[in-house]
Structure 1
Amino acid sequence: MSKSSQRNIKWVEGLRGITSALVITTHVARAFDFALFWPADKKDAAPRLLQLPYLRIPYQGRLGVPIFAFLTGFVCAYKPLKLAYQHGNIPGSLKSVARSAFRRPPRLMLPAMIATFFSFVLSCFGAYTAANRCDSFWVRFDAPGYMPFRQNVRRLFTAFLTTWTSTDNPFDRHQWAMRPLLIGAFQVYVVLAATIGMRFKYRILVHVLMIFYWLYNVGFLTETFGANLALGTLLAELAQHRPTQNFITTHQRIFTFVLAPMLLLLGGYIGSYPQEHEDWADWSMNLHNMLLNPNPEKDGENEGSIFVPKGTNVHRRTSAFMIYCTAISIFVSPAIQKLLSHRWLLWLGHHSFAVYLVHGTLLRTVAIWIAYGITGQPWQEAAKNVDGSPAEPQEWIRPKSRSHKLLAIVIFTALTYTAAWAWMKWVDTACARATQWLEERVFEDEDPDGRAGLAEKGYAHVNGNGIIASPDRTDKSQPPP
C-alpha cells in the first residue's frame, strides 16, 4: 500500500478531545451566563465580543452531540472496512462488526450507570440543595430535586431504565444523548453488514442516499444523529479508498488553503445562528430570513430553505451543517489532521467520555457551591395558593460575586479533568475488563477449530490436536453431521 493511502486517524481522538472541551464550555455558559446564547444582552443593545458570529460558537452549544454522532459513524465503520479493504477479509470484517455490536452496549451502559449512582449518592446527602435554589433556571432543571430515601432509590432504578428508553435521567440529564448514540452505532453496524459485499461505487451510493434521507427527514433529531452517522460512515469508507487518498495527497495544498477555509467559514457563519432572540441583531435576523424564508403573506410562516427544510429544527440544523463542513474540511486537509493529532488533544480525547459523564454532577455541586454557597441559604419558599399554584414569584439565590463565579469555573474545570483521569484509570478500566470477560465467554475462540466452539455445535469429542473424533460412526469417509 502506498504511503499516501496510509491514513492518519489520530485526528479522531483529537476532535473528540475538543468536543469534550466544547461541552464543558457551553454548560458553563448555560449555568453562569445564559445571555451568551443570544446575539445581544437585550434588544437594541450592542453585542458583547463573545456574542458575535464565529466567536459565539464554543459558548452557544449544540455542537457536542452531533460531533459525537459523526465520530461514532466513523469509528464504528473504520475497522471493519479496513479488514475488508486491506486484507480482503469479508468474513473477518463481519465478525468484527458482530464483536463491536456486542461490546457497544456494556461499554456505554456500565459507565453511565456508575455515574448515575454517584449522582444518586450525592442527592441522598442533599448535595443539590444549592442547585435547586440558585437563580440559573438551567441548573435548577438539571439538578435532581429532593426525595425521601425510599422514593429516591426507586427513582434511581427508574433512571437506569429510562436513560435507554425515553432518554430521561433525573440524576444526570446530560445522558439524554446516550440512547440515540447507541442506536446510531447499530445503524452503522446494519449498514456495514448489508453493504460489505457490494462494489465500492454502490456502497458509496448507499451512504450518500442515507445522508440525504436523514437530511430531508423532518423527524426529531434526524439531522443531529442520522445524517452525521451516515457522513462518518461515508468518510470512513473513503479513508480506505486508495484513489481518493492519492487524489487528496496530490491536491492537498488547494484543499488545505482554499477549500477547507471556505468550508469552515461557511459552516461557522451558519452555525452561529443564536439559540433565541435572533431579531436582536441584524446579522442574525438576516441569517434567519435566509434560512427560514418567512412568508409575509402568510403571517410570517416559514417556508424553509435547502439548509433548513420546512418543519425542521433550525437550531440543530444549523449546528449540524457546521459539523458537515468541519468534518469534510478535516478529511481533505492532512495539515488539519496533523494539528488535531497533537498529544495534548489526544489526551483530552482519551478522557472525553469520562468528562461527559462526570462534568454535569461536578457542575451542579462543586461549582454551584463555590458560586452560591453550599447550604442554599438564605432561602424563603414562595407562598402558594390553595390549588398549589405559586401566589407570588419565587426569589432565587443569587451568586455571591463575579469573582466567586470565575473561581467556580476554574476549580470546576480542573476538578473535572482530574476526575476524568481517575475515572479512566479505575472505573473505565474495570468496565472494559468486565466487557472483555463477557465477550470471551459469549464468542467462540478466534480459532475456528477451538474446542469450546466445536463442543457447542455438538462435536463433543475433540482430541489434543483439535480434530473431531467420532467413535460412534463407522463410516469415516463422511464428514460429521
Structure 2
Amino acid sequence: MSNQGQRNIKWVEGLRGITSVLVICTHLARAFDFSLFWPADKKDAPPRLLQLPYLRIPYQGRIGVPIFAFLTGFVCAYKPIKLAYQQHNVPASLMSVARSAFRRPPRLMLPAMIATFISFVLSCLGAYTSATHCDSFWVRFDAPDSQPFRKNLRRFLWSLLTTWTTTDNPFDRHQWAMRPLLIGAFQVYVVLAATIGMRFKYRILVHVLMIFYWLSNSAYLTETFGANLSLGMLLAELAQHRPTQNFISSYQRIFTFIVAPALLLIGGWVGSYPQEHEDWAEWSQNLHNWLLNPEGPEGSENLGSMLVPNGSNVHRRSSAFFIYTVAISIFVSPAIQRLLSHRYFLWFGRHSFAVYLVHGTLLRTVGVWVVYGISGQPWVKADTNEDGSPQPQEWVHPKSRSHKMLAVVLFTGVTYLAAWAWMKWVDTACARATQWLENRVFDNGEDGEGKGGMAEKGFSQANGNGSARIPIQTDRTDRSQPPP
C-alpha cells in the first residue's frame, strides 16, 4: 500500500483554501452582479460566459459552507480514529475526543466575538453608511443600519449571544454558519464516542445510515450540515482502512482519469442548478424537471426525486450532491490530493477561517466604498405621497463598471492581507488563550488521572511512578478507612 495514499491529508487544508476563495467569489457576485445567479440576464436572452453550466458554480454560491461541514466531519474524526484503530489506544482516542470537544467552542467563539466587535466599532463610526444606501439589496441586508450608541451597544451585546442561539448577527451575518458547524462538530464527537468499540464494518454501516437519514430528512439545512458531516466521518474511516487504500492504489489511474472526472462532470451538472429563473434556459429547465419531477398541466405539483425528495430545498440539494461528488473524487484520486497539497493551496487553507471572518466586513466597507463612494450620497430617505402611500426609495448607483473591477481586485488583496494579520496576531492570541484554559481544566496524567485529579478526589500518589495510590489521611482517628 502507498504510504502517501494512506497518510496524505494535506489536501484537506488545500480544499479549505479553495473554499475560502469560492466564498469570496459568490459574495462578490451577490454584491455587484447578482444576475450571475440566473441562467441568463433575462428570459430569451443569450447567457453570459459565467452563467453557463459548470462555469457558474464558483459564483452562484451554496457550496462553501457544505464543504466546511464535510471538512469538519473529516478532521474531527481522523485523529481519534487513528489513535483507536491504528495505534490500538482507545483511552487516548477518547481523551482526544474530550480535548477536541473542549477546544472547539472557544476556538470558534473567541475569534467570532472579536470580528463582531470590530464590525460594531465600524458601525459606530458610520462606516456602513454607503452600504445601507446602495442599490444592492444583498449588501443593504448584510449591513447594520445606523442606530444611537446605546441602542447599538445593546444590539452588539445581544449579537454575541444570538450568533450561537438563533444564528442572527446583524454586524456580521456571515457568521450564521458558526452555530451549526459547532453543533456538527459535537455530532461527530458523540458518534465517535458511541462507536469507538465497534468493529469496522459496523462503524461504516453507522456512517452510511446517518448519511441516508440526513438525505431523507427534508428539514432545513440537513443536506448542508448533517449529510456532509457524516460523509466526512465515513471518508476519515476509509482513509485509514488498508484494504480500501490498497484498492485505490492498485487502480489509481482508473480512479484519477475515469472515475473522478465522471463524478465531477455529473456532480457539476447537477450543482449548476440556478438560484432563480431556471425557466430562462433550456438546460436549467430540463434539470429542474429531472430533479423535481413536476406533474400536472402547469407543473403545480412536485413529486421530487431521489436527489431532491418532496419538500426539500432543491438549490441546496443540488449543490450538496456536487459536494459529495467532489469529496469522493478527491478521496479516490491521489493525483488530486497531491494537487491540493501544493504549498499555495495550503497557504490559502491556513488563512481560510480568518478570511471567512473578515471578508464580509471588508466587502461592506472597502469594496462598497470603491463602487459607490464613502459618503453614500446623494441619498434622501423616501417620503410618503399625499394619499399616504410610500414613495419608492431611490438608492445610490455604482459609479461605473471599472469601479466594480477595481473593487474586486482591491477588496481581494485587502482581505487576504487582513487575514494574514489576523492569523499572525488575533488567531494566535485566541489559540494561546484556549491552550491555557485547556491546561487548567484537563489533567495531564498519562493514564488520564494525574496528581491534580487524584488529589481533588482525596487521593495522592504513593510513589514517583504513580503505580500505587494511598488515601490522604484526613481522619487521624481511623487511618484504615479512606475519606468519604
Q: CA deviation at 1:149?
A: 0.1
- Equivalent-residue separation in structure 2 for 1:386 and 1:169 (angstroms): 37
Structure 2 equivalent of residue 440 of structure 1: 439
Structure 2 equivalent of residue 159 of structure 1: 159
Do 2:17 and 2:352's aligned partners in 1 also have CA atoms closer than 8 Å? Answer: yes
Structure 2 equivalent of residue 414 of structure 1: 413
Match of 2:223, SS? coil
In structure 1, what residue type is equivalent to 2:43? K
Structure 2 equivalent of residue 149 of structure 1: 149
- Equivalent-residue separation in structure 2 for 1:390 and 1:360 (angstroms): 35
Match of 2:43, SS? coil
- Equivalent-residue separation in structure 1 for 2:478 and 2:266 (angstroms): 74
Q: CA deviation at 1:5?
A: 5.6
Match of 1:376, SS? coil
Q: CA deviation at 1:392?
A: 1.4
Q: CA deviation at 1:254?
A: 0.4
In structure 2, what residue type is equivalent to 1:430? A
1:368-387 counterparts in 2 under 5 A? 368-384=368-384
Q: TM-score, normalised by structure 2?
A: 0.96
Q: CA deviation at 1:469?
A: 4.7
Structure 2 equivalent of residue 398 of structure 1: 397
Structure-2 change in CA distance of 1:113 and 1:390 (3 Å): farther
Structure 2 equivalent of residue 431 of structure 1: 430
In structure 2, what residue type is equivalent to 1:58? P
Do 1:4 and 1:249's aligned partners in 2 also have CA atoms closer than 8 Å? Answer: no
The one-character-per-residue Cα deviations of 1:14-61 (angstroms, maximum 9, x if unpaired) are 000000000000000000000000000000000000000000001000
The one-character-per-residue Cα deviations of 1:385-432 (angstroms, maximum 9, x if unpaired) are 699x86211110001111111111111000000000000000000000
- Equivalent-residue separation in structure 2 for 1:409 and 1:113 (angstroms): 27
Bigger mean CA offset, 262-271 vs 457-466: 457-466
Do 1:264 and 1:326's aligned partners in 2 also have CA atoms closer than 8 Å? Answer: yes
Q: CA deviation at 1:477?
A: 10
In structure 2, what residue type is equivalent to 1:45? A
- Equivalent-residue separation in structure 2 for 1:471 and 1:214 (angstroms): 52
Structure 1 equivalent of residue 189 of structure 2: 189
In structure 1, what residue type is equivalent to 2:406? L
Structure 2 equivalent of residue 354 of structure 1: 354
Q: TM-score, normalised by structure 1?
A: 0.96
Structure-2 change in CA distance of 1:321 and 1:465 (3 Å): closer
Structure-2 change in CA distance of 1:94 and 1:240 (3 Å): same
- Equivalent-residue separation in structure 2 for 1:362 and 1:87 (angstroms): 45
Structure 2 equivalent of residue 177 of structure 1: 177
Structure 2 equivalent of residue 342 of structure 1: 342
1:251-266 counterparts in 2 under 5 A? 251-266=251-266
The one-character-per-residue Cα deviations of 1:138-188 (angstroms, maximum 9, x if unpaired) are 000000001100000000011000000000000000000000000000000
Structure-2 change in CA distance of 1:450 and 1:277 (3 Å): same
- Equivalent-residue separation in structure 2 for 1:230 and 1:64 (angstroms): 17
- Equivalent-residue separation in structure 2 for 1:264 and 1:258 (angstroms): 10
Match of 1:145, SS? coil
- Equivalent-residue separation in structure 2 for 1:120 and 1:439 (angstroms): 29
Do 2:458 and 2:471's aligned partners in 1 also have CA atoms closer than 8 Å? Answer: no
Q: CA deviation at 1:453?
A: 1.7
- Equivalent-residue separation in structure 2 for 1:295 and 1:315 (angstroms): 19
Do 1:273 and 1:315's aligned partners in 2 also have CA atoms closer than 8 Å? Answer: yes
- Equivalent-residue separation in structure 2 for 1:138 and 1:287 (angstroms): 27
In structure 1, what residue type is equivalent to 2:429? A
- Equivalent-residue separation in structure 2 for 1:423 and 1:450 (angstroms): 36
Structure 1 equivalent of residue 268 of structure 2: 268
Do 1:115 and 1:357's aligned partners in 2 also have CA atoms closer than 8 Å? Answer: yes
Structure 2 equivalent of residue 116 of structure 1: 116
Structure 2 equivalent of residue 314 of structure 1: 314
- Equivalent-residue separation in structure 1 for 2:157 and 2:386 (angstroms): 33
- Equivalent-residue separation in structure 2 for 1:385 and 1:348 (angstroms): 53
Number of residue equivalences: 480
In structure 1, what residue type is equivalent to 2:428? T
Query: Unaligned stretches of 5+ in structure 2?
Result: none
- Equivalent-residue separation in structure 2 for 1:94 and 1:391 (angstroms): 62
Match of 2:194, SS? helix
Structure 1 equivalent of residue 241 of structure 2: 241
Q: CA deviation at 1:465?
A: 5.4
Q: CA deviation at 1:447?
A: 2.6
Q: Does 1:284 align with 2:284?
A: yes
Do 1:135 and 1:398's aligned partners in 2 also have CA atoms closer than 8 Å? Answer: yes
Match of 2:430, SS? helix
Q: CA deviation at 1:297?
A: 4.8
Do 1:451 and 1:462's aligned partners in 2 also have CA atoms closer than 8 Å? Answer: no
Do 1:256 and 1:334's aligned partners in 2 also have CA atoms closer than 8 Å? Answer: yes
The one-character-per-residue Cα deviations of 1:260-316 (angstroms, maximum 9, x if unpaired) are 000000000000000000000000000000001111257521110111110000000
Structure 1 equivalent of residue 305 of structure 2: 305
Q: CA deviation at 1:2?
A: 6.3
Do 1:463 and 1:469's aligned partners in 2 also have CA atoms closer than 8 Å? Answer: no
Q: Alpha carbon RMSD of aligned pairs, Å?
A: 2.0
In structure 2, what residue type is equivalent to 1:422? A
Q: CA deviation at 1:114?
A: 0.3
Aligned-pair identity in percent equals 77
- Equivalent-residue separation in structure 1 for 2:2 and 2:405 (angstroms): 51
Bigger mean CA offset, 402-411 vs 202-211: 402-411
In structure 2, what residue type is equivalent to 1:336? I
Do 1:4 and 1:246's aligned partners in 2 also have CA atoms closer than 8 Å? Answer: no
- Equivalent-residue separation in structure 1 for 2:445 and 2:282 (angstroms): 62
- Equivalent-residue separation in structure 1 for 2:332 and 2:205 (angstroms): 20
- Equivalent-residue separation in structure 1 for 2:27 and 2:432 (angstroms): 32
Structure 2 equivalent of residue 229 of structure 1: 229
Structure 1 equivalent of residue 101 of structure 2: 101
Q: CA deviation at 1:463?
A: 5.9
Structure-2 change in CA distance of 1:255 and 1:151 (3 Å): same
Structure-2 change in CA distance of 1:392 and 1:446 (3 Å): same
- Equivalent-residue separation in structure 2 for 1:309 and 1:361 (angstroms): 37
Structure 2 equivalent of residue 74 of structure 1: 74
In structure 2, what residue type is equivalent to 1:131? A
Q: Does 1:7 align with 2:38?
A: no
Structure 2 equivalent of residue 367 of structure 1: 367
- Equivalent-residue separation in structure 2 for 1:206 and 1:468 (angstroms): 40
